[in-house]
Structure 1
Amino acid sequence: MPNPFKELILKFGVPSLAVIIIAIHFFMAHTQNLSKWKGGGYGMYTELHYVYNHIHITGMSVDSLKKSSPSIKKALSKVLLMPNRRNLQKAGEHILKITKKDSIHIQLWKPSVSSKQQSYTRVLADELYLKNTDF
């Protein structure tokens, strides 16, 4: 004898859950500046791997910063892995606090490959100007 509750769950619950998950993925991919793979879980090969992203901080060596402080290395790695405004802001504020600079200009560059023009360039994905207000 069929169970009506089980049938109801299978008929409406599973598809509803799938639609909710798709909506969350779509929202994350389009509002958090994440790739379709990281933000949405689809389109695995739509972008180059995150290790090819590049962080540039004017007047500072990013490699030296990473070597000098494990916490800075962790913050910058998070920016490369999940390149959104919030992570860039947190990393910038952390660098300001650790280095005791009065301001920094931090940029995130992503690679861009054009098969038609056979070129590999970098495109500015995001940048922040941060000032230290703790005087």
Structure 2
Amino acid sequence: MSDQPTEMAGKTKVAFSALLEKGKAYGPFDTDVTLPYNKVFTNIGDAYSSCTGAFTAPVAGVYYFTFFYHAGGKQASKLELFKNSEMIVMTSDHQSGSDGADNGGNAVVLQLRKGDQVYVRMAANSHVWAAENHTTFSGFLLS
């Protein structure tokens, strides 16, 4: 089975789903970092790079993206989804001494040109839990 964009009944197929799996808490870091979701479940069209954490649109179209995270509540968590260099949507939770864990996520439908990049960036001084299948990033071509 090819990882290149496929065409079935006249429709191009592009879809990916990946997990951030580093075995423990990931972050905090002194600067914003693009999350390298390294465990790839699906990458039809080979448009997601686990090295860079970026999805690069292989064809122009309308795409759906979603991302979720789990984190400890004693530190802040803030993830932002970018299209090229523009922040589109985010999810966050503030630091709290009485909160044991946080979960968050967001989703968006975007019109992309061929070559546009979509990625999730974690804000400086925040963290996520990168173990036990909690923190994911997925997307697919709608039309």
TM-score (norm 1): 0.28
Higher strand share: 2
TM-score (norm 2): 0.27
Which protein, 1 or 2, shows the higher relative CO under an 8 Å CA cutoff with sep ≥ 6? 2
